[in-house]
A and B are shown apart, each in its own frame.
Chain A
């Protein structure tokens, strides 16, 4: 099976280890991974801040970069939700405003081919035990877009629970937003920080040493708070845990 990786701009520039982990993990599971170099940002920051016109070229670029791939996999619930939920909306609005139907078609064609990593593993590949090894106590924060936008349900937890050596502990108030929210984090820094502080306090209360998530933008916010607080807890993307094995443990 062949799949294209949509690594996302945040992972490309700041968290390449997550992208590398996805490549290693998928290859280990027998998937041939492509990385179309024409890809860039999905346009979520622009769109969510109210700049729909600035988003359109990025919708066009993303749709073009992944044309022809039946499976596009991304390690970000919010970017997957952006493409699945909002691309068709942006396309329809552009068409209604008389900017041709081409964007609408491209968006509608891409949307159903995009899979968040855990969806791809569980639904398409049909695996929950990916052969990973990670001997640590982990708690999982399901980011809002994965949880409510995509309806990922317990897929991430099932994948984590199957990891050898991993002790999964429930995060109290897991379904509450961490306070990142894209530009919300800088437009409303006080509320954002207050929400994040409650989240890391909940994580600390579990006794876990690793706070796992499936969206590096939320994790950047939480990790930033954890490090500022000199916390022993480490924020880690799910893909990196799933990619770790006994032979090649996580550094």
Chain B
């Protein structure tokens, strides 16, 4: 298969740095209003749903512990998983990176002789740009999650983990359906209003045709159980279940960090995930499949072939980092997005990745490295306010990881890339900042000099400009500067409370 063009990645590597990308979103009043409304509604509901459980803190600690334990022994659990999946009639494939995963899936689909697949929402396949890779191989991939469908039909990118079309309003969705559905399959009924029920019905009719025709499905999974080889998908619409049961061949692409040791461990996440993500006590559809199982295959329900593609794509490198590895505990509930004041203003696209918001800010620069402008800027896309840590159901200390990654960008340090330990040099573009930090430190480490500098500042206070040049402009463009006092505290103390020097 030489000459296979893998297509464009879902998010361009040359995405603009976060501050520039966020600027546009901040100025888009409509977008900000949509985001504000959506995130505030869901965060309030989440708070109520979580408050119902008296043992939330213990569930949170238990979820964290299960994930940490699994990550510590990931090699062992993955081998156990492979064995269980194989014993149940499935086939396991290991993919080191996006290219390898895309190649495996493309070959598997080609082997069936099919030219189209249905998909149930899977972040892993978005992460690797599978749809584009399939398209380049002449295979059409149809998203079946409603929000994913909207994004796909709109030639758009997802902007939220759980609500990928959070940035779209009803009228926009109606226009997308009317303009695009016909080109992909069954056209939207005419006339089409923007009532949610009408829109859902249009999607249902469009998708039903796809489900009934498709021979191959591609899915992700929220969890994989090592002891039984069971895959688990949580969803709200039931489209996923159609996708997982109707086609003949099922290919699941799952990140290696999604494994948990035992079936019992699911008990924790069955409680914490729905409450954190959709503020529901239980998610409406939980689908579990174990290889082909006795009731599946030719004479039973469900697919007759099952393939599991285990995706690394930067995860073992992330695992090698003591502080950063906690990002792999993430169960993609999106609670951190919904409480993040920066996400609320900047929107999901500014993060240049399928993982937006606080978790994206720590995951992307680890999975992809800090080499690009967007990845080097993501650790700074936060005020470190801590709201994300507070809501995270697996207690990921996102601010701690952010500071850790800032350190990597600003001063360099050891990282693992492709399994090899390397020492990163500080990222470009921080030279002036580094010099300023150093100068500030030299001054701050000499109280005598500091006192002299404060006096100088006090003497020049009348000359203080309203607008600063250079980096200071970022402050004075929108804010007044503090007024410099006539006397520093240090001098006041010396005058009032101790002997004058």
Which residue, A45, A51, A145, A179, has most C-beta atoms of chain B within 10 A? A51
B-chain residues with CB within 8 Å of residue A190 when the two chains form the complex: 19, 22-23, 26-27
Q: Are A37 and B490 in contact (CB-based, < 8 A)?
A: yes
Q: Are B479 and A184 in contact (CB-based, < 8 A)?
A: no
Complex Cα gap A182–B485 (Å) = 21
Residue A176 at the chain B interface, CB threshold 8 Å = yes
A-chain residues with CB within 8 Å of residue B386 when the two chains form the complex: 144-145, 148-149
Residue A195 at the chain B interface, CB threshold 8 Å = yes
Residue B79 at the chain A interface, CB threshold 8 Å = no
Q: Are A45 and B411 in contact (CB-based, < 8 A)?
A: no
Which residue of the partner chain B has the closest CB to A8? B489
Among A16, A187, A221, A227, contact of B489 (Cβ-Cβ < 8 Å): A16
Q: Are A51 and B437 in contact (CB-based, < 8 A)?
A: yes
Encode A50-64 as 1/0 by CB contact (under 8 A) with B: 111111011001000
- Among B166-174, B277-285, B440-448, the one that faces the other chain is B440-448
Residue B428 at the chain A interface, CB threshold 8 Å = no
Q: Are A193 and B478 in contact (CB-based, < 8 A)?
A: yes
**Minimum C-beta distance from B376 to chain A (A):** 11
Residue B297 at the chain A interface, CB threshold 8 Å = no
**Minimum C-beta distance from A240 to chain B (A):** 13
B-chain residues with CB within 8 Å of residue A187 when the two chains form the complex: 19, 380, 474
Q: Are A188 and B381 in contact (CB-based, < 8 A)?
A: yes
The interface size of chain A toward B, counting residues with CB under 8 Å, comes to 67
Encode A160-176 as 1/0 by CB contact (under 8 A) with B: 00000000000000011
In B421-479, the 8 Å CB interface with A consists of 433-434, 437-438, 440-441, 444-445, 447, 450, 454, 457, 471-472, 474-475, 477-479
Residue A181 at the chain B interface, CB threshold 8 Å = yes
Which residue, B385, B390, B481, B493, has most C-beta atoms of chain A within 10 A? B385
**Minimum C-beta distance from A61 to chain B (A):** 6
Q: Are A52 and B411 in contact (CB-based, < 8 A)?
A: yes
Residue A31 at the chain B interface, CB threshold 8 Å = no
Among A55, A181, A224, contact of B482 (Cβ-Cβ < 8 Å): A224
Q: Are B480 and A223 in contact (CB-based, < 8 A)?
A: yes
B-chain residues with CB within 8 Å of residue A201 when the two chains form the complex: none
Q: Are B382 and A181 in contact (CB-based, < 8 A)?
A: yes
A-chain residues with CB within 8 Å of residue B457 when the two chains form the complex: 13
Residue A202 at the chain B interface, CB threshold 8 Å = no
In B306-336, the 8 Å CB interface with A consists of none
Complex Cα gap A191–B477 (Å) = 13
Residue B341 at the chain A interface, CB threshold 8 Å = yes
- Among A17-25, A113-121, A241-249, the one that faces the other chain is A17-25
Complex Cα gap A149–B64 (Å) = 20
Q: Are A49 and B490 in contact (CB-based, < 8 A)?
A: no
- Report if A225-B385 is in contact (Cβ < 8 Å); known contacts: A13-B457, A38-B447, A54-B438: no
**Minimum C-beta distance from A64 to chain B (A):** 11
B-chain residues with CB within 8 Å of residue A186 when the two chains form the complex: 471-472, 474-475
Complex Cα gap A113–B385 (Å) = 24
Residue B387 at the chain A interface, CB threshold 8 Å = yes
Which residue of the partner chain B has the closest CB to A55? B441
Complex Cα gap A225–B480 (Å) = 6
Q: Are A52 and B440 in contact (CB-based, < 8 A)?
A: no
- Among B113-121, B197-205, B402-410, the one that faces the other chain is B402-410
Q: Are B475 and A224 in contact (CB-based, < 8 A)?
A: yes
A-chain residues with CB within 8 Å of residue B475 when the two chains form the complex: 185-186, 189, 224
**Minimum C-beta distance from A224 to chain B (A):** 3
**Minimum C-beta distance from B233 to chain A (A):** 33
- Report if A50-B485 is in contact (Cβ < 8 Å); known contacts: A12-B490, A23-B497, A181-B383: no
Q: Are B390 and A61 in contact (CB-based, < 8 A)?
A: no
Which residue of the partner chain B has the closest CB to A228? B480
- Report if A7-B447 is in contact (Cβ < 8 Å); known contacts: A144-B386, A148-B390: no
Q: Are A61 and B445 in contact (CB-based, < 8 A)?
A: yes
Complex Cα gap A195–B387 (Å) = 14
Q: Are A45 and B440 in contact (CB-based, < 8 A)?
A: yes
B-chain residues with CB within 8 Å of residue A148 when the two chains form the complex: 385-387, 389-390
Residue A71 at the chain B interface, CB threshold 8 Å = no
Among B19, B437, B482, B485, contact of A220 (Cβ-Cβ < 8 Å): B482
Which residue of the partner chain B has the closest CB to A183? B380
**Minimum C-beta distance from B229 to chain A (A):** 39
Complex Cα gap A14–B450 (Å) = 13
Residue A40 at the chain B interface, CB threshold 8 Å = yes
Q: Are B480 and A227 in contact (CB-based, < 8 A)?
A: yes
Complex Cα gap A28–B103 (Å) = 75
Q: Are A144 and B385 in contact (CB-based, < 8 A)?
A: yes
Residue A39 at the chain B interface, CB threshold 8 Å = yes
Residue A11 at the chain B interface, CB threshold 8 Å = yes
**Minimum C-beta distance from A9 to chain B (A):** 6
5 sample A-B contacts, Cβ–Cβ < 8 Å, listed by A number? A13-B489, A15-B482, A37-B447, A57-B445, A190-B19
20 further A-B pairs in the complex, CB-CB below 8 A; given A37-B490, A148-B387: A11-B489, A13-B484, A13-B489, A16-B489, A23-B497, A48-B403, A50-B379, A50-B410, A144-B387, A177-B387, A181-B383, A184-B383, A184-B384, A186-B475, A189-B477, A192-B383, A195-B345, A195-B383, A223-B480, A228-B479
Chain B residues engaging chain A, CB cutoff 8 angstroms: 18-19, 22-23, 26-27, 32, 341-342, 345-346, 379-387, 389-390, 400, 403, 405-411, 433-434, 437-438, 440-441, 444-445, 447, 450, 454, 457, 471-472, 474-475, 477-482, 484-485, 487-490, 492-493, 497-498
Chain A residues engaging chain B, CB cutoff 8 angstroms: 7, 9, 11-17, 19-20, 23, 33, 35, 37-41, 43, 45-55, 57-58, 61, 89, 144-145, 148-149, 175-177, 179-196, 220-221, 223-225, 227-228
